[in-house]
Amino acid sequence: MNRVYQKTLGTSPYHRRKTGLLHDLHLDASLLILLLFLSTLGVIILMSAGYEDLALQQRQVTRLGVAFFAMLIVAQIPPNALKLFTPWLFFAGILLLVGVLFIGDMGKGAQRWLDLGFFRFQPSELLKLATPMMVAWYFAERRLPPRFKHIAIATLFIAIPSALIAKQPDLGTAILIAGSGLTVLFLAGISWRLIASVIAAFTALAPALWYVMKDYQKQRVLTFLSPEADPLGAGYHIIQSKIAIGSGGLYGKGWMHGSQARLEFLPESSTDFIFAVFSEEFGLLGCIGLLSIYFLIFLRAIYIATQAQDTFSKLLAGSLSMTFFIYLFVNVGMVTGILPVVGVPLPLVSYGGTSMVTLLIGFGILMSIHTHRKLLSS
C-alpha cells in the first residue's frame, strides 16, 4: 500500500519537480513578467519625462540590462551560500562606508561615492541588501522570538550603517536601510510591548533631532509643513509636483502631452518626481493601474517569503518585500506631499543606475529563495 501511495505521490503534479528553462535558470516566471512589464513601462514614461532624449533612453535600457543580468546571476546562488557570505559582505560594506567619510567623492553637496578609477559607486547601495541579510543571519542561529540581548545586538547591526550613511548625508537611504533591518526585527517576533515602548521613546525624543539635523534637512521639514511659504525656492518642487498631479484629472492629458515636465516647470522630472509626470499624463486611472502592478509584485514577494523553508530565508525574503514597499511608499508620499522630500526614486521607473541594480539583485535573492526550495520527504 505504501509503495502504491509513493508511486502515486511521485507522479502527482503537486510533488513532481518543476522543469523548464525559467526553472532551470532559477527564475520565478510570475515575478519576472511583472518586473519586465514595469521596467518597460518605466522606459516609456522616461521618454516623456526626459524630454525625448534618446541618449537618456539608451543609458536607461543599458542599465536595465545590467540590472536584470545581475538578478539572473544572484538567482543562481543558493540561500545557504548567501547566508555563508553574509557577515563578510556586511563588514566589507561597513569598511567601505568608513572609507567614504575620509576619501569619498563629493556630489550634489554630499560625500557618498568611492572612486576606484575605472568606476564610481555608492557603498550605501551594498548595505541596502547587506543590513537585512546580516540581521536575518544573526537571528537564524537563535531561538525566536529573540531575547532582549539579541535584539540589542541586532539593533547595532542596523544603527551603525544607518548612522554612517546619514553622516554623508543621505537621509533617504539611511531611512530605507533602517526600515529593512527593523522589518527583520519585527518578523523575528519581538513583542508588541517593546514596539510600543520604542515608538513612545522615539516620539518623546523626536524634538531633540531638530538640533542635530543639518540646515538643508531642517529646510525640508519646514517645506513639508508649509511649501507655500517659499513657492519660488524650497517649496517649488512639491508645489509643481502637486500641480502636475492635480492637472491630470481622471484620464490624464495623454502620453507626451504633459505640460509641467515638457515645459520644464517640474524639476527632477526623470528621477525622483517621475510619478508626477505619469500622473499628469495618465490621470487617476493610470495611477491606479501603475500602483496595481507594484501591488502584484509586492504580493508575489510576500508569497515567496511565506513559502521559504528556513528562518534565514523567511526573514530575508520578508524584509526585501517590505523594503520594496517602503521604496514605493516614500517616493509616492514625497511626490504627493504627504512626506518630506528625501530623494528616493520610484522603483524601476525613475532614471538611475545603482539603485536599480540593487533593487533587482534583491529580487534575484527572492527568486533564489523560491527556486532552491527542497522537496519535502514526507
Res 325 pLDDT > 50:
yes
**Does the structure show a pLDDT above 90 at 229?**
no
Q: Stretch 224-229: mean pLDDT, rounded?
A: 78
Contact (Cβ atoms closer than 8 angstroms) between residue 266 and residue 239? no
| Dist. CA 210–CA 198, nearest whole Å | 19
Q: What is the pLDDT of residue 109?
A: 58
Q: What is the pLDDT of residue 131?
A: 94
pLDDT tens digit sequence for 5-24: 344 334 444 344 555 788 77
Q: What is the pLDDT of residue 18?
A: 55
Res 87 pLDDT > 50 = yes
Read off the pLDDT of residues 116-161 as tens digits, 9 standing for 90 and up. Answer: 666 677 888 889 999 999 999 999 988 888 888 999 999 999 999 9
Region at 146 (left for phi over 0; alpha for psi -120 to 50; beta for the rest): beta
**Residue 213, Cβ neighbours under 10 Å: how many?**
15
pLDDT, one tens digit per residue, over 336-371 is 988 888 778 899 999 877 888 999 999 999 999 999
Quick one: average pLDDT of 288-298? Answer: 96
Domain boundaries of the chain, sorted by first residue: 25-196+227-371
17-25 long-range contacts, Cβ below 8 Å, gap at least 24?
A: 17/375, 23/371, 25/72, 25/75, 25/76
Q: Lowest-confidence range among 211-215, 243-247, 312-316, 353-357? A: 211-215
Distance separating alpha carbons of residues 368 and 28, to the nearest angstrom: 9
Is the peptide bond prior to 145 cis by the omega test (within 30 degrees of 0)?
Answer: yes
Residues 6+ apart with CB under 8 A from 352: 63, 271, 345
What pLDDT score does 3 carry? 47
How distant is the alpha carbon of residue 338 from its chain centre? 19
Taking residues 108-120, what's their average pLDDT? 67
Per-residue pLDDT, 110 = 64
pLDDT for the residue numbered 35? 96
* DSSP string for 272-312: TTHHHHHHHHHHHHHHHHHHHHHHHHHHHHHHHHHH--SHH
**Residue 2 clears pLDDT 70, i.e. is over it:** no
Reduce the DSSP state of residue 105 to 3 states and report it: strand
pLDDT-derived band of residue 234, with 50, 70 and 90 as boundaries? confident
Q: Which residue has better confidence, 108 or 40?
A: 40
- Using 50, 70 and 90 to split pLDDT, how confident is the model at 329? very high
The CA–CA distances, whole Å, from 139 to 89, 96, 150, 362, 373 equal 17, 24, 8, 19, 20
Dihedral sign, CA of 84, 88, 94, 97? negative
Lowest mean pLDDT among 28-37, 109-118, 143-152: 109-118
